[in-house]
Amino acid sequence: MQGGRYPYVYVDGIYLRRNWGGEFENVAILVAIAVNEDGYREVLGAAEGMKEDKASWVSFFQWLRSRGLDGVKLVVGDKCLGMLEAVGEVFPKAKYQRCTVHFYRNVFSVTPRSKVKLVAKMLKAIHAQESKKAAREKAKAVVEELRSMKLKEAAKKVEDGIEETLTYCDFPSEHWTRIRTNNVIERLNREIRRRTRVVGSFPDGNSALMLVCARLRHVAGTQWGNKKYMNMKHLEAAVEDASIAG
């Protein structure tokens, strides 16, 4: 990372198995990817976080900041309390977008299998709206509908969690599909898991981290890192408009 501005940052924890004196335990590798101000994706870094708690995330974010991470406007990730608090502490000006895919999975966890397809359609309709106001209205209607289907727990999850999945609406609509999920990391995760399956388990966190970093470097060196991911002119224009309006 050459010190620079990275408006959009995607974070996730990847769990790998490690063999500790004959006992297996999971080790969390925290990964951050960003879209830089020119619109290209960059791997910012990975670090071992013994567990995904606030202390791990704070030290991870501070480490990234010390290496030049700046200008963060939005952090996209799964709902994990430690991470949320850490964002507020290390990047107080940044907003948080809860990954919609993870949010859907969370709702599906309390939805009968026979209803998952229908509920998925209802949830996607919320995020297909053209504005935050319309999405909120749609969410209210979905909550009512879920209640009438006797899916109380699913309704509660939507009601409690929907707002933090709508932060993307505060950014240019041209970027919405790219910033409302952390799919950009999910793809890397799949690639990493594919490699780690070959290896099996790791003697320690460091060797797990080294493998993850090697895969990240490999992916970043392919077309993935050399292809423009989004047009950042839209964001510049939106920021200018906001400062004029402000």
pLDDT per residue as tens digits for the range 121-140: 999 999 999 999 999 999 99
Higher-pLDDT residue of 15 and 146 is 146
Would you state the pLDDT for residue 202? 67
Reading the block at residue 229, the tokens are: 């991911």
CA distance 145 to 194: 40
For residue 12, what are the CA distances in angstroms to 27, 48, 71, 99, 186? Answer: 13, 12, 19, 10, 8
**pLDDT confidence of 2, banded at 50, 70, 90?**
low
Say what the pLDDT of residue 209 is.
Answer: 83
Of residues 234, 81, 89, the one with CA closest to residue 170: 234
Cβ-proximal residues to 144 (8 Å cutoff; 6+ apart), any chain: 155
Reported as a pLDDT band with limits 50, 70 and 90, residue 27 is confident
What is the pLDDT at residue 118? 97
pLDDT digit string, tens, across residues 88-98: 999 999 999 99
- Tokens at residue 71, please? 């200008």
Residue 50 to residues 16, 208, 225, Cα–Cα distance (Å): 11, 12, 28
Mean pLDDT of 144-170: 97
Band the pLDDT of 246: cuts 50, 70, 90: very low
Q: Which amino acid is at 82?
A: G
| String of DSSP letters for 39-55 | SBEEEEEEEEESSSSHH
